[in-house]
Amino acid sequence: MQPPATVSILGVPIHNVTEDEAVTYLAALLRAGGPHQVVTTNPEFVMEAQHNTAFRAVLLKADLATPDGFGLILAARWLGTPLHGRATGVALVQRIAALAAEQGYRVFFLGAAPSVAAEAAAILQARYPALQVAGCFAGSPNPRHEPFLRQLLAAARPDVLFVAYGHPAQDLWIARNQPTLQIPLAMGVGGVFDYLSGRVPLAPAWLRRLGLEWLFRLIVQPRRWRRILVAVPLFLWAVWRHGRNE
Ligand code: UDP
């Protein structure tokens, strides 16, 4: 199966897929076997990639980079290369869990605070009872822990690995370890386990549709203000400046 077309935002390629198209392509990657890496690119990823060359290389090499974040939709429209829609990490984790339950793929949940990965897995298993959980472990993105985590994963033999260490750590972790792990589908999922376990509330759908998720986050997690500043005004400013200089 041909990879989907990409749209470039500030030099970072994003596959132009809707959520359904992303799931269809992920199912094809799983059927094909072999190691694959999925990133859910949002404006913060694009901004980080402007100065972090290792992270940028990972985003460029990913087998699927989905558009996560309303800011990307807006930026792509301004640049005259519109994206068809969003495929967010939180939606994809649930869709992949459904697919795994249907096809018998084993899923491993790595990262987040102690017990959060297991809570997220239990919630998905309650929703999709056929889901096979290969394991849950908090661990740490510190490279010193890698030999142990590689052993744990080799023994668990998952088909799908979700890694919740936040960006860029989780995506760099996958890129460093996939050559050894060879997991058919590994994806960085940021705060998705926190959302699924109900520790962090997800913005209501109507606010997400209006592109005001950032405002909701600012209210429920005010300590993230600096990150929201990078993700919203600074990102849009950088895209606008780039568009004028083209
Ligand atoms: N996290 C972790 N270990 C770390 C740093 C972060 O397990 O050393 C987890 C944290 O508990 C949270 C997730 O990584 O569940 C980061 O969520 P965030 O929403 O910040 O993700 P991002 O937007 O950076 O991808």
Cβ atoms of 117 and 85 within 8 Å: the answer is: no
CATH superfamily of 6-197: AF0625-like (3.40.50.10700)
Q: Whose CA is nearest to atom 1 of ligand 1?
A: 165
Binned at pLDDT 50, 70 and 90, residue 96 comes out as very high
Q: Whose CA is nearest to atom 19 of ligand 1?
A: 191
Cβ atoms of 55 and 130 within 8 Å: the answer is: no
User: Taking the model in full, what pTM does it have?
Assistant: 0.97
C-alpha 185 – ligand 1 centre gap (Å): 20
Could you tell me if the CB of 194 is within 6 A of ligand 1? yes
pLDDT above 80 for 245: no
Residue, of 210 and 129, whose pLDDT is higher: 129
pLDDT above 90 for 181: yes
Binned at pLDDT 50, 70 and 90, residue 1 comes out as confident
Q: Which atom of ligand 1 is nearest to the CA of 111?
A: 7
Q: Please report, for the chain, the start and end positions of each structural domain, with discontinuous segments joined by +.
A: 6-197
* Tokens of residue 195, six digits: 């959302």
C-alpha 81 – ligand 1 centre gap (Å): 31
pLDDT tens-digit readout, 65-89: 999 999 999 999 999 999 999 999 9
- CB burial of 125-161 (b: ≥16 within 10 Å; e: otherwise) equals beebeebebbbbbbbebeeeebeebeeebeebebbbb
pLDDT recorded at residue 144: 96
State the average pLDDT over residues 23-28: 98
Kind of pairing between the strands at 106-111 and 160-164: parallel
Could you tell me if the CB of 43 is within 6 A of ligand 1? no
Give the chain's largest Cα–Cα span.
53
User: Ligand 1, from 165, 216, 226: best to mutate by most atoms within 8 Å of Cβ?
Assistant: 165
pLDDT tens-digit readout, 201-237: 999 999 988 889 999 999 999 999 999 999 999 999 9
CB atoms within 10 A of CB 114: 9
pLDDT above 80 for 244: no
pLDDT above 90 for 61: yes
Residues 6+ apart with CB under 8 A from 19: 85, 86, 87, 88, 91, 92, 95
Lowest mean pLDDT among 5-14, 59-68, 217-226: 217-226
